[in-house]
Amino acid sequence: MLRFANSRMQPEQKAKLKDLIRVFLQIGATSFGSPTAHIAMMETEIVRKRQWLTGEHFLELLAATHLVPGPNATELALHIGYLQAGFLGLLAAGASFILPSFIASSMLAWVYARYGALPQADAIFYALNPLVLAIVINTLWNLGKSCLKTWQTWLIFGLALAGSLLGVSELIILFGAGLLGYVLLDLLKRPPKAPALMLVFFPLPLLLRFFQQGSDWLQSRAVQLFLYFLRTGAVLFGSALVLFPLIRDDIVNRFGWMTQQQLIDAIAVGQMTPGPVTSAVTFIGYFVGGLPGAFAATVGVFLPSFIIVAAMGPLMKKVADSKAAKAVLEGVNAGVVALIISIAVTMAKNAIVDVWTGLLLAAGLAALLLLKLTPYWLVLAGFLVGIAKVLFF
């Protein structure tokens, strides 16, 4: 079992590279649904089961992913990999998390290109979605206990939740939560001094912007896909679901790579396959440029995240030593929990459609909270119930 030294940023023992690969392959192959569900699986495996990170540190890394471009769940995997095994750990964790979805999306793209249709998965997700929601709620409970310990963090949490439910931008909520954290948890507790160090993540969204026009003049379709999705990955914020409004006009109208319905089918693949929802980009790449296109598009959309996290890794340790930055992160952590609750509410609207799905949610929560069942078994149970529904009902 791993224990922590005085510095929260450095565990006494680091995970071996092979352990990172095995754990993130497992998470990438079994985490279905939204990025929030993937993060929930990571929290169970990394914080509670293996104790590679404390709950508070896990939340700090999660908060950092919300403040820079790129898919949140993937960047969280990269941060964990870097912290445990440096740059090689970053590469190992990221590639292992992405690989299962790349394989699954490429296979479905081949089926789609050959037969013009996707396998029906509604019945399976009928049972799976409530159980994934149970995993998210269980994670919320644990993360909330880690960061909501003072009246200040509860106040920030309440304001952030209200803002999220009212439709305020995710980035604005997190910026406001960080600012409130700085004021309530640091500035008001000491005499005013020179301006303290604020979060260093905010300028980073402007990195790599020069890729904007890169795909217009090159003839190779794979290179076009790589440069287009490189630019997309460099400006993508928040959930990977934000990706699709961002690329729809270019994919359908500007380049004519896919029809509207084909793009919708690609989005469906991102939901059907395990791992990051951004794997829909793999489907698009395969459909447009075959296997080279799938590889190029996938590398392109994730590469900015690898670069940003590699640059942030050493910086995170310095930020942790600043009282002002710690106060900002405590505020952002409370805001992150509020955002996850808001997402869980949306998930519940889609997952709980009748009394049976409500019972599945209750059973999933009981299995996690009372029986301490590993989420992987819950996902497997959801698949089996869904398959039984297809075969017998």
Q: Is residue 159 part of a domain?
A: yes
Q: How far apart are the first and last CA of the chain?
A: 45
Q: Phi and psi of 11, rounded to 5°?
A: -70, 155
Structure tokens at 253: 């109208």
Sign of CA dihedral 253, 267, 96, 86: positive
Distances (CA, A) of 169 to 156, 180, 241, 329: 16, 16, 14, 18
Residue 353 in any domain: the answer is no
Distance CA 284, CA 192 (A): 53
Tokens at 272, concatenated: 């059907």
pTM: 0.68
List the pLDDT tens digit at each of the 393 positions of the chain. 333 334 444 444 578 899 999 999 999 988 876 777 788 889 989 988 888 998 888 888 888 887 777 788 899 999 999 999 989 999 999 999 999 989 988 988 888 887 766 666 666 677 777 887 887 788 788 778 877 888 989 999 999 899 888 888 777 887 888 889 888 887 776 654 434 333 333 333 433 343 344 434 346 888 899 989 988 887 776 555 557 767 878 898 888 998 877 887 787 677 677 777 677 899 999 999 999 999 999 999 999 889 888 888 777 766 656 677 778 778 877 887 888 788 788 778 878 888 988 998 899 889 888 887 777 777 778 777 777 776 666
Which residues neighbour 189 within 8 Å (Cβ) at sequence distance 6 or greater? Answer: none
Domain membership of residue 368 (yes or no) is no
Tell whether 387 is covered by a domain.
no
Q: Which two tokens stand for residue 57?
A: 């540190």
Phi, psi of 171 (to 5 degrees): -65, -40
Q: What secondary structure, in 3-state letters, does 93-151 show?
A: HHHHHHHHHHHHHHHHHHHHHHHCCCCCCHHHHHHHHHHHHHHHHHHHHHHHHHHCCCH
As a whole number of angstroms, the distance between CA 140 and CA 339 comes to 10
d(Cα 104, Cα 272) in Å, to the nearest integer?
A: 9
Domain that holds residue 2: 1-117+130-346
**What HEC string does 57-92 produce?**
HHHHHHHHHHCCCCCHHHHHHHHHHHHHHHHHHHHH
On whether residue 28 sits in a domain, the answer given is: yes
* Assigned domain for 377 exists: no
Q: Count Cα neighbours of 8 within 13 Å in the Cβ-side half-sphere.
A: 15
Quick one: the chain helix, strand, coil %, rounded to 5?
75, 0, 25
In a domain, 216, yes or no: yes
Q: Is residue 303 in a domain?
A: yes
CB 331 within 8 A of CB 180: yes
Q: Count of domains in the chain? A: 1
The dihedral sign for the CA sequence 360, 361, 364, 366: negative
